[in-house]
């Protein structure tokens, strides 16, 4: 299977000792949930995939996206979208500027503006472009962060406890929105979470790193 995200015998070591290992494949449109208690190295796997692994870690194995190895590529060339627990909207930019930062380059100014406004509509925030992100509610910020990431036209999606920061009601709504968009764009999704409800809502396979090792 060439399509999708594939982790081939990935082992991440710290100070020579293996920290976490995973061998898994995620097909386009599929969600793979990686579970386990904190400190087990779930997020470290995601930083390997995004290309932001701290130099104190070493790794073995390969990460492939649509059949192409990406582990040697710089982070910005990988086209791997990621959402964290916090929205991480850039506080010095307006909502529209945040989206423009994400929007893949190219196109006329008018076309880019139209695309951003369209994106705002998709998440139910028409006219929010000039707003200061700090004035948005938690749910609104999360949606802007999602749209910013989608506009960068990623080929895979990583979720790092992406729903843990939201209240109960909002969480279900946000899960639905993220998984819908990922499915519509046929993105492979790798979700790291400690919340069984997240995994249940995703409906895909579950790997438990806490119960001794790798799977997939």
Q: Decide: is 71 part of the binding site for another protein (CB under 8 A).
A: yes
Of 106 and 169, which CB lies nearer to another protein in the complex structure? 106
CB of residue 92 to another protein, shortest distance in Å: 4
Q: Which stretch binds another protein (CB under 8 A): 29-37, 82-90, 178-186, 193-201?
A: 82-90
Q: Does 104 bind another protein (CB under 8 A)?
A: yes
**3-class secondary structure, 57:** strand
With tokens 């749910």, the residue in question is: 139
Q: How many Cα atoms sit within 13 Å of 193 on the Cβ side?
A: 24
Considering the rule CB under 8 A, would residue 13 count as an interface residue with another protein? yes
> How far apart are CB 60 and another protein at their closest, in Å?
5
Q: Which residues pair with 68 in a beta bridge?
A: 65
- If the CB atoms of residues 13 and 64 are measured against another protein, the closer one turns out to be 13
- Using the minimum distance from each CB to another protein, give the nearer residue, 4 or 133: 133
Contact 115, 151 (CB under 8 A): yes
174 binds another protein, rule: CB under 8 A = no
Candidates 129, 133, 139, 188: give the one binding another protein (CB under 8 A): 133
Q: Does 51 bind another protein (CB under 8 A)?
A: yes
CA 162 to chain centre: 8
How is residue 63 written in tokens? 């990460």
195 binds another protein (CB under 8 A): no
> Is 38 an interacting residue with respect to another protein (CB under 8 A)?
no
Residue choice 61, 138, 165, 204 for contact with another protein (CB under 8 A): 61
Q: State yes or no: residue 5 binds another protein (CB under 8 A).
A: no
CA 22 to centroid of chain Cα atoms: 18
Handedness of CA 154, 75, 206, 24 (dihedral sign): positive
How many residues bind another protein, per CB under 8 A? 45
Dihedral, CA of residue 67, residue 70, residue 72 and residue 75, to nearest 10:
170
The distance of closest approach from Cβ of residue 200 to another protein in the complex, given in angstroms and rounded to an integer, is 26
Taking each helix axis from N to C end, the angle separating 95-102 and 138-151, rounded to the nearest 10 degrees, works out to: 30
Burial class of residue 127, CB neighbours in 10 A (0-12, 13-18, 19+): exposed
Residue numbers at the binding site for another protein (CB under 8 A) = 9, 13, 47, 50-61, 71, 74-82, 84, 86, 88-92, 94, 101-102, 104-105, 132-135, 148-149, 152, 154
């Amino acid at each position: 299977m060439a399509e999708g995200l594939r982790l081939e015998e990935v082992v991440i070591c710290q100070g020579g000792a293996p920290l976490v290992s995973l061998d898994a494949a995620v097909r386009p449109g599929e969600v793979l949930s990686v579970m386990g208690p904190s400190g087990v190295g779930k997020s470290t796997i995601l930083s390997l995939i995004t290309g932001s692994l701290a130099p104190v870690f070493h790794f073995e194995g390969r990460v492939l996206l649509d059949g192409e190895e990406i582990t040697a590529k710089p982070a910005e060339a990988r086209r791997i979208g990621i959402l964290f627990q916090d929205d991480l909207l850039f506080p010095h930019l307006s909502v529209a500027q945040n989206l423009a930062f994400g929007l893949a380059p190219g196109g006329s100014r008018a076309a880019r503006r139209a695309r951003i406004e369209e994106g705002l509509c998709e998440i139910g925030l028409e006219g929010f472009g000039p707003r200061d992100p700090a004035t948005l509610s938690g749910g609104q910020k999360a949606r802007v962060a999602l749209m910013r990431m989608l506009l960068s036209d990623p080929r895979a999606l990583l979720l790092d406890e992406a729903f843990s920061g939201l209240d109960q009601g909002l969480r279900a709504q946000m899960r639905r929105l993220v998984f819908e968009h990922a499915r519509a764009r046929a993105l492979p999704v790798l979700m790291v979470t400690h919340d069984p409800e997240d995994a249940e809502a995703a409906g895909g396979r579950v790997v438990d790193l806490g119960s001794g090792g790798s799977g997939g």
